[in-house]
Amino acid sequence: MTRSYLSFALNTFRQRWVYRKNFVMGMVGIGVRLVFLLFAWRALYASVAFESVAGRSYEVMQTYVLVSMLVQSLTSGGQISTNIEERMKSG
């Protein structure tokens, strides 16, 4: 089962790598969004001298941002998930 997921991930990477500019720009976009979110949270916590906000520390919020972006990137397949969905519907 793990082998099929690995194969699927490798094929997805190969398909996206064909369009290198889109792939690279997508990665740049993810990086920019990550940096923006981390700086925004840092500014918020800096304004309260890095005390807890709503019971969460700055380190916890950094972890949340990183994990949520990782989960989002792993679960959003875009075109590929749409293709699979259409194949499943059509049988």
Structure tokens at 43: 């500014």
The string of pLDDT tens digits covering residues 66-86 is: 999 888 877 776 666 666 777
Name the β-bridge partners of 56.
53
Residue 56's SS3 state is strand
Phi and psi at 53, nearest 5°, equal: -115, 120
Q: Within the chain, what is the greatest distance between any pair of CA atoms? A: 57
Question: What is d(CA 34, CA 10) in angstroms, rounded to the nearest whole number?
Answer: 24
The string of pLDDT tens digits covering residues 4-54 is: 778 888 887 787 777 777 778 878 888 899 999 999 999 999 999 888 888
**CA Rg value for the chain:** 18
